[in-house]
């Protein structure tokens, strides 16, 4: 359970760091699960590789649906206690991913706000970044701009299309969050954050289950937004019969091409088929 001071820090800064949340045994279980998922005997392709080195994995898609170790970790009661303290008792599991950041190849993640990828009726959404290796400046730890979640949704467009990144971030107030394996960062969906390329000889793997309040409903169902929706389920409390709506205008993430991951759209490469055009009514035009 979070203290009053921890809750206040999250509200003010948009993130909260909790050291040694998961013990060494739990982290070792995740390492074994990753090895199982990436085993040559596993014929299902569950990952996305680095463009510069196809032998280096940079993301495992939906790990909670691929291995019970990650499903259990995402629903850990102590973790849900912390999330409930920040977004309320009615908690939906939103999606999950596993960012690998392999040695010498781990792709950078450019400045962005998670909410830009999946607008909802309110902003009670957060991610739990669970570090499976020590995260340092050298291997691409998380960088954040404290308090940036309180200043609205920034444009993530370049040349008129959603690119999933912000090109004009003032990094003068950015901080690096170094954290040992087993530590957790709870990250508000509007927080400006990024991470550098892994320049070290050590991996920097992180499991990211994301959550939302039950009354935060999606307001965009474009092609890539659907990637985050199939695994949604109630983890605690009750489903909501109403949508709680924050005032304001949110730009919809209309991309030039369909994409499978943040990496793809930020890099502007390996994009898939064109996204359907949108009519004035807001419905897709085939």
The domains of the chain are located at 4-285
Domain 4-285: assigned CATH number? 2.60.120.620
Cβ neighbour number for residue 39 with a 10 Å cutoff: 9
On the CB side of 37, how many CA atoms lie within 13 Å of its CA?
Answer: 25
Q: Which residues pair with 158 in a beta bridge?
A: 161
- 271: pLDDT confidence band, cut at 50, 70 and 90? very low
What is the pLDDT averaged over residues 47-71? 90
Q: What is the pTM of this model?
A: 0.89
- 260: pLDDT confidence band, cut at 50, 70 and 90? low
Top-confidence residue, 221 or 114: 114
Distance of alpha carbon 168 from alpha carbon 242, whole angstroms: 37
Average per-residue pLDDT for the chain: 88
Please check the confidence at residue 283 and state whether its pLDDT lies above 70.
no
CB 207 within 8 A of CB 70: yes
Top-confidence residue, 163 or 71: 71
* Residue 193 structure tokens: 């954050």
């Amino acid at each position: 359970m979070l203290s009053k001071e921890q809750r206040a820090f999250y509200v003010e800064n948009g993130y909260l760091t909790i050291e040694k949340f998961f013990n060494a045994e739990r982290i070792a279980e995740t390492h074994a699960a990753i090895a199982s998922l990436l085993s040559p005997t596993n014929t299902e392709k569950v990952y996305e590789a680095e463009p510069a080195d196809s032998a280096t994995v940079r993301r495992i898609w939906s790990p909670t649906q691929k291995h019970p170790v990650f499903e259990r970790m995402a629903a850990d009661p102590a973790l849900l206690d912390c999330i409930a303290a920040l977004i309320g008792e009615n908690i939906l599991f939103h999606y999950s991913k596993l960012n690998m950041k392999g040695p010498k190849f781990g792709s950078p993640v450019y400045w962005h706000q998670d909410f830009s990828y999946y607008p909802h009726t309110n902003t009670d959404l957060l991610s739990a970044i669970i570090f499976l290796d020590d995260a340092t400046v050298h291997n691409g730890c998380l960088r954040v701009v404290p308090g940036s979640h309180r200043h609205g949704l920034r444009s993530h467009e370049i040349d008129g299309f959603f690119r999933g990144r912000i090109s004009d971030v003032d990094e003068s107030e950015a901080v690096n969050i170094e954290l040992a394996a087993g530590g957790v960062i709870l990250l508000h969906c509007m927080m400006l954050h990024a991470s550098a390329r892994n320049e070290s000889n050590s991996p920097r793997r992180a499991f990211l289950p994301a959550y939302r309040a039950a009354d935060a409903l999606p307001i965009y169902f474009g092609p890539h937004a659907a990637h985050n929706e199939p695994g949604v389920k109630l983890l605690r409390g009750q489903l909501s019969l109403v949508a709680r709506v924050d005032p304001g205008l949110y730009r919809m993430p209309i991309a030039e091409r369909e994409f499978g991951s943040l990496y793809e759209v930020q890099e502007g490469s390996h994009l898939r088929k064109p996204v359907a055009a949108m009519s004035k009514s807001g419905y897709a035009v085939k």
